[in-house]
Amino acid sequence: MKNRSRNFYLIPYVIWIALFVIAPLFLVLYYSFFNIEGEFTLSNYQKFFTPVYLKMTFSSFWYAFLITLFTLLIAYPTAYLLTKTKHKQLWLLLIIVPSWINLLLKAYAFLGIFGTYGAANSILEVIGIGSQQILFTDFSFIFVSVYIFLPFMILPIFNALDELNPSLLYASSDLGASQWTTFTRVIFPLTLDGVKAGCQIVFIPALSLFMLTRLIAGNRVITLGTAIEQHFLVTQDWGMGSTIAVFLILAMVLIMIFTGTRKKGVL
Amino acid sequence: MKKNSILSKVYLVLIFFILYGPIFYLIFYSFNSGGTMYQFEGFTLNWYRELFQDTRLLTIVLNTVIIALLSATVSTILGVAGALAILYARKRRVKNTLLSLNNVLIVSPDVIIGASFLILFTMIGIKLGFISVLLAHIAFSVPIVVLMVLPKLEEMSESMIYAALDLGASRFDVLTKVILPYITPGIFAGFFMALTYSLDDFAVTFFVTGNGFTTLSVEIYSLARRGVSLNINALSALLFVFTMLLVVGYYFITKKSEKPRGMGVRQ
Amino acid sequence: MKQLVRAFVAVLAISFILLYIVNRLNSAQGLTEGNVLTVFNWGDYIDAELIDKFGEETGIKVIYETFDSNEAMLTKIQQGGTTYDIAVPSEYTIEKMKEEDLLLPVDHSKIPNLKNIDERFMDLSFDPGNEYSIPYFWGTVGIVYNTDMLEEKGMTLTSWNDLWDPRLKNEILLIDGAREIMGMGLNSLHYSLNDKNDDHLMEAKEKLDSLTPNIKAIVGDEIRLLMENDEASIGLVWSGVAAELMWEKDNLEYVVPEEGSNLWFDNMVIPKTAKNIDGAHQFMNFILDAENAAQNTEYVGYSTPNKAAVALLDEEIVGDERFYPDEEMTARLEVYENLGPRLLSRYNDLFLEFKMHRK
């Protein structure tokens, strides 16, 4: 009985996986063994272990880590406070709506806001800090990335918080736990799955950000995603681009295994 | 406690301010007679007038919305099936393999997805255009739906299903009367995420589109060469107001018809 | 469950209503009928009025699609699946497309207006005898700068080497192109921008590294917007971008550096997958018409190879030596050669290393 039903759900999903995951995956792996002149070689893998690409890998992970961290730090309280509001589902929807406005347009808005004569600098002038270079710095890059990923982090955390059983919280405070203890011992552990899901949804794409590295960071930040985009679209070196992609996918699998083993084997 | 609630209100207001800031910035300049996004010269509605005369742009907007709605719907169905498939997979290894494959598309940079889909579609012989874009959007939205639905499924106790079965419910009944209602919030979250991904996507669409079919983000990207014209701002403003009305309206309608439960609240 | 079903039905209903509207809109525009021509061009690289005019004159409906890099365009044409009747690649890509047998020969007898093209731009090394391509626009790579700022600092800018002046700290915007930036490095050392000697390339890369303190950002097409916003006072740009910028702002000036620079061409070609070959020739002929070319030049702002159009255009535009350089200056300019994949990837690798080089 159970077996039959399982197969039934698997059919559409497995077809999707075969067509749109395995096939592209195979293509990427296949291309990664060819150099720019179309010869079969391992030289792309050799090249990946040169200082240039190792440095790039390191900085990608570092920036992705920072982005995820800040997104989490901002998203968790937001999600928590949202669950306390009256029309919480409405507010949640309103958190998602800004992400429906085209990313490129928002990036252009940020170019205006963060520019030398932009709104942010006008505010800084008024406060008395004085004009700063904001655009093309690590700050602006991380700020805009966090801005973009924020809804993706809030959503799963909100869902996790939302179904938290309130009686657990009452029990905790009845037993004399402080608010902080209740949070660290009860709330946070119970919403850990949501946090993990959020971190995955943010960290993994953050590793391969590209457009923003040019628009907001002025290529002062080069991530693996930027390099892949360059190799596919500019230098036409699909082999090297694929090789980087192979490593990205490996990193993703490792992250999944790493964050997934604690509970029930998933997420 | 009182102080806390003021503090939390301030925090939420700040978050919403930051999320909506760039959008209001875009909207503000859509009324600029100066024609650029950095110096406000005077009020005008010309950009809106120009917009309504542009049937080509209108077609593009409608195409974008259609693709987003259809792809989000189909990928939600596929994603729910996928999440169920993963849930029912007994062996941990199968589970982890499925999940890792699921996440490949999330980690892969858009450019790779786009390029590999392009190769795939031309290999299969699908004509580039509406269908190929729709398929691609469905394909890259599925994993995100799975990620949104799975935590909900995981937390549902298996005993509920067995209880239903013991009480004589058929498989189909279990699905429609027990499982789906329980995971409805996750399904909606997945749907909206898929919508977001589809509306935002540029790189994948660019590769797999052709024969005169374009979406808004591809169009905006190609306009970027000359600096985005303000009728695009006007367009975003209208779309924004429209979605706001839709979201708020939808929320209150569903709220009224279903009494205390809002959309997405459990059961 | 009811809620789910209801939402599902609503979404589908809305989608199909919208689909219907789009279909109506498309057929109202005549996009569904037979005689269409698909043009694949750079974003905003033609006066849209000309497309309408072409439709009125010939009854052919133009579908206009855009790309943002030669390579992206090449990928799409290589893969097929969509039929472009006209594409507008740059010279080194035309060479590549010829090698890969992606182009159809152009029938000169069907393009009487070809006589309007200046001899200087015909029969160039990348396409001898113009067998496959017809000139569309051309231009140079150079420096656009803010005259007020330079005056303030008491500087003049005439050569690439002037950019290395420490007074220009954090003032320069570069375009994100390996050939352009490596070319700048090589030119500043008085090497050819097609240099094949690896020592020279390394030298150029090191020279570029030492420019890092002066560089504010390395950007794409948004360089135009950033220069317009006074985000930086110096930008390395294509001449057309400079022309547009100077049109907008009086205090900007453009110079082609004295060490030499790049001369580029964008030509119209007919990809092998074309369906409406006759229409493609008609379109080429239409664009080469003196009046149309003049109108297009006024809109796009790049330099036209059309001498009949030049005669029609304002002296202010075509008399401008910065954009219509004389023979002596043209002699200092070089066209990018197709370096072959191995050497090109060397250029790209060095450029990537340069971008990774932090202050």
Distance between C215 CA and the closest CA of chain A, angstroms: 10
Q: Which residue has the higher pLDDT, C44 or C60?
A: C60
For testing contact with chain C, the best of A105, A220, A237 (most C CBs within 10 A): A220
Token look-up 């133009």 returns C62
For testing contact with chain C, the best of A230, A232, A240, A243 (most C CBs within 10 A): A230
Q: How far apart are CA B130 and CA B70, in angstroms?
A: 11
Q: Which residues in chain B show pLDDT less than 70?
A: 1-3, 107, 224-228, 254, 256-267
Strands C36-42 and C215-219: unpaired
Distance between B86 CA and the closest CA of chain A, angstroms: 8
| Closest residue in B to A203 (Cα–Cα) | B107
Token look-up 């985005």 returns B228
Which of A47, A12, A15 has its CA nearest to residue A241?
Answer: A47
Distance between C354 CA and the closest CA of chain B, angstroms: 23
Per-residue pLDDT at C263 exceeds 80: yes
**With contacts defined as CB-CB under 8 Å, which chain A residues touch B141?**
none
The answer to whether the Cβ–Cβ distance between B221 and C43 falls below 8 Å is yes
Q: How far apart are CA B190 and CA B138, in angstroms?
A: 12
Q: What percent of chain C has pLDDT over 70?
A: 98
Name the amino acid, one letter, at B50. Answer: E
- pLDDT at residue A58 in the model: 93
- pLDDT at residue C294 in the model: 94
Q: Which residue has the higher pLDDT, C88 or C78?
A: C88
A220-224, C52-56, C138-142: which range is least confident on average? A220-224
Is the CB of B161 inside 8 Å of chain A's CB atoms? no
The answer to whether the Cβ–Cβ distance between C353 and A52 falls below 8 Å is yes
The answer to whether the Cβ–Cβ distance between A236 and C71 falls below 8 Å is yes
Mean pLDDT of A10-34: 88
Confidence of residue A262 (pLDDT cuts 50, 70, 90): very low
| Closest residue in B to C22 (Cα–Cα) | B59
State the burial class of residue A118 (Cβ atoms within 10 Å of its Cβ: 0-12, 13-18, 19+): buried
**Residue A189: φ, ψ to 5°:** -60, -35
**With contacts defined as CB-CB under 8 Å, which chain A residues touch B117?**
20, 24
Q: Are the beta carbons of C274 and C102 closer than 8 angstroms?
A: no
The answer to whether the Cβ–Cβ distance between B188 and C225 falls below 8 Å is no
State the Rg of chain A over Cα: 22
- pLDDT at residue A162 in the model: 85
> In this predicted model, what pLDDT tens digit does every residue of A53-103 receive, in sequence order?
999 999 999 999 999 999 999 999 999 999 988 888 889 889 988 888 888
The SS3 of residue A181 is helix
Mean pLDDT of A154-183: 85
Per-residue pLDDT at A147 exceeds 90: yes
- pLDDT at residue B59 in the model: 87
The answer to whether the Cβ–Cβ distance between A6 and B266 falls below 8 Å is no
Distance between B15 CA and the closest CA of chain C, angstroms: 28
Q: How far apart are CA A65 and CA B35, in angstroms?
A: 39
Distance between A109 CA and the closest CA of chain C, angstroms: 12
Angular region, B212: left φ>0, alpha ψ -120 to 50, beta rest:
left
The answer to whether the Cβ–Cβ distance between A74 and B196 falls below 8 Å is no
> In this predicted model, what pLDDT tens digit does every residue of C198-246 receive, in sequence order?
999 999 999 999 999 999 999 988 888 888 888 899 999 998 889 888 8
> In this predicted model, what pLDDT tens digit does every residue of A28-63 receive, in sequence order?
899 899 988 888 999 999 999 999 999 999 999 999
DSSP secondary structure code for residue C136 in this structure = E
Q: Name residues whose C-beta falls within 8 Å of residue B136's C-beta, 6 or more positions apart in sequence.
A: B113, B114, B117, B121, B204, B205, B208
Q: What does C208-238 look like in DSSP terms, one character per residue?
A: HHTTGGGEEEEESTTHHHHHHTTS-SEEEEE
Which of C220, C241, C208 has its CA nearest to residue C141?
Answer: C241
The answer to whether the Cβ–Cβ distance between C221 and B224 falls below 8 Å is yes
What length does chain C have?
A: 359
Diameter over CA atoms, chain B: 72
Name the amino acid, one letter, at C52. Answer: D
Q: Enumerate neighbours of A (3 or more CB pairs within 8 A).
A: B, C
Distance between C168 CA and the closest CA of chain B, angstroms: 25
**With contacts defined as CB-CB under 8 Å, which chain B residues touch C81?**
118, 121-122, 126-128, 132, 210
What are residue C172's DSSP bridge partners? C215, C234
Q: Are the beta carbons of B136 and B208 closer than 8 angstroms?
A: yes
Per-residue pLDDT at C134 exceeds 90: yes
**With contacts defined as CB-CB under 8 Å, which chain C residues touch A217?**
217
Is the CB of C236 inside 8 Å of chain A's CB atoms? no
State the burial class of residue B177 (Cβ atoms within 10 Å of its Cβ: 0-12, 13-18, 19+): middle
Q: Are the beta carbons of C317 and C180 closer than 8 angstroms?
A: no
Give me the interface pTM, i.e. the ipTM: 0.86
Q: Are the beta carbons of A64 and A206 closer than 8 angstroms?
A: yes
User: CA A31, A34, A35: angle at the middle one, nearest 5?
Assistant: 125
User: In what helix (H) or strand (E) does residue C63 lie, and over which residues does it extend?
Assistant: strand C61-67
- pLDDT at residue C129 in the model: 92
Angular region, B15: left φ>0, alpha ψ -120 to 50, beta rest:
alpha
- pLDDT at residue B230 in the model: 83
Per-residue pLDDT at A164 exceeds 70: yes
State the Rg of chain B over Cα: 22
The answer to whether the Cβ–Cβ distance between C217 and A135 falls below 8 Å is yes
The answer to whether the Cβ–Cβ distance between A228 and B99 falls below 8 Å is no
Is the CB of C149 inside 8 Å of chain A's CB atoms? no
User: In what helix (H) or strand (E) does residue C86 lie, and over which residues does it extend?
Assistant: strand C86-87
**Residue C88: φ, ψ to 5°:** -125, 75
Top mean-pLDDT range of A123-127, A182-186, B70-74: B70-74
The SS3 of residue C141 is strand
> Which residues in B109-265 belong to E strands, given as ranges?
none
Three state DSSP letters for C171-209: CEEEECCHHHHHHHHHHHCCCCCCCCCHHHHHHHHHHHH
Tokens of C153: 């600092």
The answer to whether the Cβ–Cβ distance between B69 and C19 falls below 8 Å is no
User: CA B100, B101, B103: angle at the middle one, nearest 5?
Assistant: 65
Q: How far apart are CA A228 and CA A2, in angstroms?
A: 43
**With contacts defined as CB-CB under 8 Å, which chain B residues touch A242?**
112
> In this predicted model, what pLDDT tens digit does every residue of C303-356 receive, in sequence order?
999 999 999 998 888 888 888 888 888 888 998 888 888 898 899 999 999 998
Per-residue pLDDT at A4 exceeds 70: no
| Alpha helices, H only, B30-129 | 46-53, 55-88, 92-107, 110-124
> In this predicted model, what pLDDT tens digit does every residue of C278-288 receive, in sequence order?
999 999 999 99
**With contacts defined as CB-CB under 8 Å, which chain A residues touch B77?**
12
Token look-up 């037993």 returns A175
Q: Which of A20, A98, A156 sits opposite B151 (nearest CB)?
A: A156
**With contacts defined as CB-CB under 8 Å, which chain C residues touch A116?**
229-231
The answer to whether the Cβ–Cβ distance between A237 and C348 falls below 8 Å is yes
CA end-to-end distance (rounded Å), chain B? 31
The answer to whether the Cβ–Cβ distance between A111 and C217 falls below 8 Å is no
Q: Which of A20, A102, A232 sits opposite B115 (nearest CB)?
A: A232
Q: How far apart are CA B122 and CA B120, in angstroms?
A: 6
Is the CB of C76 inside 8 Å of chain B's CB atoms? yes
- pLDDT at residue B3 in the model: 62
Is the CB of B116 inside 8 Å of chain C's CB atoms? no
Mean pLDDT of C190-196: 93
Q: What does C281-313 look like in DSSP terms, one character per residue?
A: HHHHHHHHSHHHHHHHHHHH-SBP-BHHHHHHS
**With contacts defined as CB-CB under 8 Å, which chain B residues touch A208?**
107-109
Q: Are the beta carbons of A256 and B147 closer than 8 angstroms?
A: no
The answer to whether the Cβ–Cβ distance between B112 and A74 falls below 8 Å is no
Is the CB of B73 inside 8 Å of chain A's CB atoms? no
Q: Enumerate neighbours of C (3 or more CB pairs within 8 A).
A: A, B
Q: Name residues whose C-beta falls within 8 Å of residue C37's C-beta, 6 or more positions apart in sequence.
A: C60, C61, C62, C63, C85, C86, C276, C279, C280, C283
Distance between B133 CA and the closest CA of chain A, angstroms: 13
Q: What percent of chain C has pLDDT over 90?
A: 51
State the burial class of residue C206 (Cβ atoms within 10 Å of its Cβ: 0-12, 13-18, 19+): middle
